[in-house]
Amino acid sequence: MLPAATLHGMNTFLLILVISYLALLISAGLLHLIARLRLFRVVAEMLCCAPGLDLAITWFTVAPIIVGGIIDGWRGIAAGIAAEFLALVSWTILHELAHPAARRGPRIYKFINSQVGWFRNYTALLVTTLVVPIFWFARVAELTLYPLLVVLVRFPKYKQREWVNVSRQKFRGLVGHDLIWCLYCDWMTGVWSFATEILRNVESFWCPIRFSSEAKCENCRHDFPDLNNGWIAADQTMSEVVAVLEEKYSGRDSNAWFGHPARLTLKGQPLEEEAGA
């Protein structure tokens, strides 16, 4: 017979797993119901963009893991992860059964499977889920830390809902497996793009110096446009660095990166150019 402590641990694990699984599946069902009822249309729209979306993402991705860990340590974390996986599989099956025509039609996952095989495709998708906590922590930093930079060094304010939102659920024919992964990418892309926008402000404000590695400069120029539009060459001096800082930031109410829209007039010309005309 198993020791009493082991049995207790197994019972706790199963209890966390079952409760978390049911909570996630019922919550998903409620979201579908809210989306269909005109009475709750405002609520549905709020849950599709920040900050409402942040609450929904937290509930479905990290809440079971956090609560499970608090209740039963590593076993609770494992139970939370297992519950999320089972809820994901269950929802996928149910959603595809509810949309038979779309299920039998052209599908993204069918094409990917034909290219790399179903095992490699599904395994790769599961690998991408391992970074969900990273994106979640990045989002927490955007909500809690970036506002401090707005106050402390006058970085520009943003309407975060314009970056962090989901809308691919509106695309016709996107169901089950395809829908859930496209929504994941939808959320992930917004979070990462907003984080990159924040870093544009950080880099140009504190370190407007090109990298010594031209390969790195080439690789980074798309995400950091100021690299080729104002940052000082690596072989220049600190005098040039301070000069560009004075040019770009002196007398400004908002210390946005050099190419930020806030620096443009309605004519599309930089403010400093119009002022000098």
Q: How many domains would you assign to the chain?
A: 2
Is residue 125 domain-resident?
yes
Give CA 271 to chain center in angstroms: 32
Is residue 192 domain-resident?
yes
pLDDT in tens, 201-256: 999 999 999 999 999 999 999 999 999 999 999 999 999 999 999 999 998 889 99
Is residue 2 domain-resident?
no
pLDDT in tens, 148-195: 999 999 999 999 999 999 999 999 999 999 999 999 999 999 999 999
**Same domain for 85 and 195?**
yes
The mean pLDDT of 43-65, rounded to a whole number, is 96
**Same domain for 49 and 182?**
yes
* Residue at which a domain ends, from 182, 199, 216: 199
Q: 214, 268 in Cβ contact below 8 A?
A: no
- Distance between CA atoms of residues 54 and 187, nearest Å: 10
The DSSP element (H or E) to which 176 belongs, if any, is helix 176-206
| pLDDT more than 70, % of the chain | 91
- Distance between CA atoms of residues 255 and 204, nearest Å: 9
**Same domain for 195 and 212?**
no
**Same domain for 253 and 150?**
no
